[in-house]
Amino acid sequence: MTERFRIGIDPAVVRADGRFGFGGGGVPMLQQMPEFDVSFMPDHGPKLGPEHVDGFDAIILLGARVDGETLAGNDRLALVARCGVGYDNVDVPACTERGVLVTITPEALSRPMAVVNLTYLLALSTRLLEQDRLTRAGRWAEKESVRGTGLMGKTVGTVGFGRIAQEFHTISKPLGMRHLASDPYADTAAAETLGVELADLDQLLRESDFVVIASALTPETRHLIDAERLALMKPAAYLISTARGPIVDETALYEALRERRIAGAGLDVFEQEPVDPDNPILALDNVIVSPHALCWTDECDRIMGESIVRAMQSVAAGQAPVTAVNRDAGDSPQVQSRLQKIVERTGTGAP
């Protein structure tokens, strides 16, 4: 007698009002598919323990950490489907060693995150938040003192040149700006096609009027933008950080903003999240902030949900999903063993 493919859902994808939030877009679709048995994992803290993943073939994960201890003694779990594009909360080598595939949803975030970066660029260049405050305070006569920055001929640079950065350069091209990117792994053909100049990081920081952080968080990029590199930026330049908070040294950024050594910043991410209400950055008037959620749109939810469903269907069929970050491990004996056991147990293998 065959079993259904069991999927564990991170309770964090459910909002306070009971509806599905970020990462939950695929759950209703999965619940309608007879081959899947969908249920919620037990409530958990910052890290999943073995008891949270026990008995599942796959899990949908939001922000909790998964590491070797999570997988200890587990010979069933074959997929960790991470919502979003960052996976710094998942120990991928530990998963690979134990035969567990890890997927992300890159196609869901490229356009929404590009729009987030463009939103911050436009809001900062027009000094939108200051204009809003001035109007609400009845200081209409002071509007002449709040002048924005025109964009034609200005330079925008992305630290990183992956999918999100490339989409950002694409949608911001009509603004008439010069485009730079710094990424040691940059696709030179894509840069040429998009009209983006590749530069080293120091050059990008010196020449850009808007610096957009669009790289993954790795040991090499942690505090990549530190006090020394912030000092390279123009006094009239703006920093936009929407990737991962620890890429920027937040203490150094606070000092640069407080002393007006750079003009301002747009921050959707912080070194510690949720951000401490007493974080001094929040008291600055030259910063726009959001709670790591500016890309959460209906479009993002739909595409992310579809991506997760496809990943589940692939694994249920005994195949490695195309969105697996450790897809090269798909042919390893450890992964193949788990996939084969799923097919034998559920009868969901590809014809």
Helices (H), 86-127: 92-97, 106-125
Peptide bond into 46 cis (omega under 30): no
Query: 67, 100 in Cβ contact below 8 A?
Result: no
Bridge partners (DSSP) listed for residue 37: 6
Lay out the sheet containing 287-289: strands in order across: 197-198, 178-182, 155-159, 210-213, 238-241, 264-267, 287-289
Q: Which residue has the tokens 């025109």?
A: 150
Catalytic-labelled residue, pool 52, 111, 292, 338? 292
Vertex 116 angle, CA 114 and 122, to 5°: 105
Q: Can you tell me whether residue 80 is helix, strand or coil?
A: strand
Catalytic-labelled residue, pool 51, 273, 299, 344? 273
How is residue 163 annotated by DSSP? H
Our answer to whether residue 244 is catalytic in this structure is yes
How is residue 58 annotated by DSSP? E
| C-alpha distances in Å from residue 10, one per residue of 52, 128, 146, 215, 319 | 9, 37, 45, 26, 23
Q: Can you tell me whether residue 210 is helix, strand or coil?
A: strand
Query: 160, 181 in Cβ contact below 8 A?
Result: yes
Our answer to whether residue 142 is catalytic in this structure is no
**What CA–CA distance (Å, rounded) separates 302 from 112?**
12
Catalytic-labelled residue, pool 244, 250, 310, 338? 244
CA dihedral 152, 158, 163, 167 (to 10 degrees): -10
Our answer to whether residue 306 is catalytic in this structure is no
- Residue positions annotated with a catalytic role: 244, 273, 292
